[in-house]
């Protein structure tokens, strides 16, 4: 489903974020990207979302070379992906409800579908009471949950989650991980970037460990070893 | 498609109502720009009116020799009337000239006594000639100076008035040209300022545009609400501008009437209301939408 071939990303002048990275992710897989801060996890996710372009190498999504997708067609690719960003990337002028619904609006879902799914998703992420708050009126954890809800509401093929539990308390962390596992059970591919030891060790899922832009380990049942 | 348009409009209106400060600034700047454009339109028409009214005031008088009979003068009048450049010929007989003089200077005893002492009517019969354009007087005068009328005509006052006529026309056309050039420059500056204000407000939203793109929004879904905002700002600016000009022309109407009789500033505004409104709305909406379109484009490359 997702294939990276010899991906290198260099930020000018000479910062190597990713160095000759290659791996493949199959449909319905749950993959953890593990590594210290600056290992290249976020860069990798940015490349998958075509937010940035690699310096060299190729990335395939459903056998489609991402670099060859024209700017005007990128939205179609991105609608297949749900992304949870480390810095949430919520729209400040929209309420929590509108932020989540936006992901459905862009795919052209009807108002009825949106209303139906929104009730469900808000309930899942526990934000029903804060649905009409603006991001500035939400805590870090609540923003994180809005971001997660936005990533999953349109039922994407893949969810890219960059430290989705970074700002959550242990109780909500567990909830979010359970939620991601549940989504994965329904057939959505999950790529989770994290440096949370407990999560990696308890998940027992495939883990790709990055160190200074290189893959140093790719295990079927990963453990947190740095 | 309908859902998409509905969402674009709703989103545009929502952002507008939620970011009041920036919108007020946009509307204010756009009102200035539209005002300049409207002034340009009004200035063009008012100056045209002034030129026309000055043109109406200019004429050339041809005085006939004392012994010339009325019949001869009327013959000349007929001949002159045939010249295509001539708009109007008015005959003033000796008696009429005397009557006008006494009406005008009746309360001046010195003049009246002198006139009585003469015993006869010293005034000459004359023709007042009006041409369509100022430069056409030259042709009319040269026609009158021909051999046919030499023995009848005493004097043509064109050469006395010529420098004044030419100076007035020169001044008006220079003033007109300078005014238009100045207004165009001013309009361009106003448009650029308005464009930059819109650009600045969209610059503030650059991160939001990027997020929208990353979530999978198409270019039109992102830029649509900005265009709607731009159009709404432009529309409100046009309405404010219309109200402003209505008040301004109404307030200045009596003062302008004193300076330029017959101008009717407010009446002119009212009679051109729809055209002015159209110009203002097209300028406002066009300016708002085009500025937004250009400004958003830069941030869509994600």
* DSSP secondary structure string for all residues of A54-87: -SEEEEEETTEEGGGS-GGGHHHHHTTEEEE-TT
Using CB atoms, which residue from B4, B7, B214 is nearest to A89? B214
Q: Model confidence over A70-103: pLDDT tens digits?
A: 888 899 999 999 999 888 999 998 999 999 999 9
**Chain B residues in contact with A103 (beta carbon < 8 A):** 215-216
Q: Could you say which residues from 194 to 223 on chain B have a Cβ atom under 8 Å away from some Cβ of chain A? A: 208, 211-219, 221
| pLDDT class of A226 with cuts at 50, 70, 90 | low
d(CA B45, CA B187): 17
Which of B15, B20, B205, B214 is most worth mutating to test chain A (most A CB atoms within 10 A of its CB)? B214
Q: pTM for this one? A: 0.74
| pLDDT class of B211 with cuts at 50, 70, 90 | very high
d(CA B221, CA A74): 13
> How much helix, strand and coil, in percent to the nearest 5, is found in chain A?
40, 25, 35
- Protein fold of B66-151: Alpha-Beta Plaits (3.30.70)
As beta bridge partners, residue B88 has: B130
Q: Could you say which residues from 1 to 40 on chain B have a Cβ atom under 8 Å away from some Cβ of chain A? A: 3-4, 7, 14-15, 18-19
Q: Model confidence over A19-56: pLDDT tens digits?
A: 999 999 999 999 999 988 889 999 999 999 999 999 99
Contact A43, A18 (CB under 8 A): yes
| pLDDT class of B202 with cuts at 50, 70, 90 | confident
Taking the CB of residue B67, how many other CB atoms lie within 10 A of it?
9
Segments making up each domain of chain B, as ranges: 2-54+168-300, 66-151
Give the closest residue to A142 by CA, choosing from A192, A177, A90. A90
Q: How far is A78 from chain B (nearest CA, A)?
A: 5
Q: Is the ipTM of this complex over 0.85?
A: yes
Interface of A with B (CB under 8 A): 49, 51, 71-72, 74-76, 78-79, 81, 83, 85, 89-94, 98, 102-103, 105-108, 110-111, 150
Contact B146, B105 (CB under 8 A): no
Nearest CA in chain B to A74: B216
What's the average model confidence in pLDDT over B269-275? 89
Contact A32, A194 (CB under 8 A): yes
> What's the residue count for chain A?
226
- Exposed, middle or buried: residue A134 (CB in 10 Å: 0-12, 13-18, 19+)? middle
Using CB atoms, which residue from B4, B208, B301 is nearest to A71? B301
Whether A93 sits inside 8 A of B213 (CB atoms) is no
Q: Give how far the C-alpha of residue A72 lies from the chain's centroid of Cα atoms, to the nearest Å.
A: 22
Whether B302 sits inside 8 A of A51 (CB atoms) is yes
Whether A93 sits inside 8 A of B15 (CB atoms) is yes
Dihedral sign, Cα of residue A116, residue A121, residue A127, residue A133: negative
What's the average model confidence in pLDDT over B228-238? 91
Containing H/E element for B284? helix B273-297
Q: How far is A168 from chain B (nearest CA, A)?
A: 22
Using CB atoms, which residue from A75, A81, A105 is nearest to B7? A105
Dihedral, CA atoms, B36, B41, B45, B46, nearest 10 degrees? -10
What's the average model confidence in pLDDT over A180-194? 92
Nearest CA in chain B to A49: B214
d(CA B66, CA B76): 15
Q: Which residues contact B110 (CB under 8 A, 6 or more apart)?
A: none
Residue B2 has pLDDT above 70, yes or no: yes
d(CA B110, CA B99): 17
**Chain A residues in contact with B216 (beta carbon < 8 A):** 75-76, 78-79, 81, 103, 106-107
Nearest CA in chain B to A112: B3
Whether B4 sits inside 8 A of A83 (CB atoms) is no
Using CB atoms, which residue from B7, B213, B216 is nearest to A103? B216
Strand residue runs (E) in chain B: 60-64, 86-92, 126-131, 153-156
**Chain A residues in contact with B7 (beta carbon < 8 A):** 105
């Amino acid at each position: 489903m997702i294939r990276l071939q010899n991906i290198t990303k260099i930020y000018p002048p000479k910062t190597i974020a990713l160095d000759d990275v290659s791996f493949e992710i199959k449909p319905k897989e749950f993959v953890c990207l593990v590594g210290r801060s600056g290992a290249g996890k976020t860069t990798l996710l940015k490349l998958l979302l075509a937010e940035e372009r690699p310096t060299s190498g190729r990335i395939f999504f459903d056998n489609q070379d991402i670099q060859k997708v024209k700017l005007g067609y990128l939205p179609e690719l991105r609608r297949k992906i749900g992304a949870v960003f480390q810095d949430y990337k919520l729209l400040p002028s929209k309420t929590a409800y509108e932020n989540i619904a936006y992901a459905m609006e862009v795919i052209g879902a009807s108002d009825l579908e949106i209303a139906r799914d929104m009730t469900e998703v808000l309930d899942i992420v526990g934000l029903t009471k804060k649905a009409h708050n603006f991001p500035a009126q939400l805590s870090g954890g609540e923003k994180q949950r809005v971001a997660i809800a936005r990533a999953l509401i349109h039922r994407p093929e893949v969810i890219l989650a960059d430290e989705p539990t970074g700002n959550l308390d242990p109780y909500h962390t567990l909830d979010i991980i359970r939620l991601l596992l549940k989504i994965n059970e329904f057939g959505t591919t999950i790529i989770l970037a994290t440096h949370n030891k407990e999560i990696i060790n308890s998940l027992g899922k495939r883990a790709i460990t990055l160190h200074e832009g290189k893959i140093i380990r790719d295990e079927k049942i990963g453990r947190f070893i740095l | 498609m309908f859902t998409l348009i509905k969402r674009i409009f709703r989103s545009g209106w929502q952002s507008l109502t939620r970011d009041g400060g920036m919108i007020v600034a946009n509307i204010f700047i756009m009102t200035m720009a539209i005002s300049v454009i409207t002034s340009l339109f009004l200035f063009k028409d008012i100056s045209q009116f002034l030129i026309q009214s000055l043109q109406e005031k200019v004429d050339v008088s041809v005085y006939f020799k004392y012994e010339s009979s009325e019949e001869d003068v009327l013959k000349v009048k007929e001949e002159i009337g045939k010249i295509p450049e001539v708009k109007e010929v008015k005959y003033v007989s000796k008696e009429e000239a005397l009557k006008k003089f006494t009406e005008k200077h009746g309360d001046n005893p010195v003049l009246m006594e002198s006139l009585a002492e003469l015993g006869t009517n010293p005034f000459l019969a004359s023709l007042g000639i009006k041409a369509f354009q100022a430069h056409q007087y030259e042709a009319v005068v040269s026609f009158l100076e021909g051999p046919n009328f030499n023995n009848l005509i005493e004097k043509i006052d064109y050469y006395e008035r010529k420098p004044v006529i030419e100076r007035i026309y020169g001044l008006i056309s220079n003033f007109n040209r300078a005014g238009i050039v100045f207004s165009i420059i001013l309009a361009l500056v106003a448009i650029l300022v308005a464009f930059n204000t819109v650009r600045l407000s969209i610059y503030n939203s650059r991160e939001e545009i990027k997020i929208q793109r990353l979530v999978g929004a198409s270019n039109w879904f992102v830029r649509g609400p900005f265009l709607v905002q731009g159009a709404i700002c432009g529309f409100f600016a046009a309405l404010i501008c219309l109200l402003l000009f209505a008040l301004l022309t109404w307030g200045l109407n009596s003062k302008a009437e004193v300076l330029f009789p017959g101008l009717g500033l407010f009446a002119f505004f009212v009679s051109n209301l729809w055209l002015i409104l159209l110009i203002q709305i097209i300028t406002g909406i066009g300016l708002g939408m085009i500025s937004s379109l250009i400004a958003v484009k830069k941030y869509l490359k994600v």
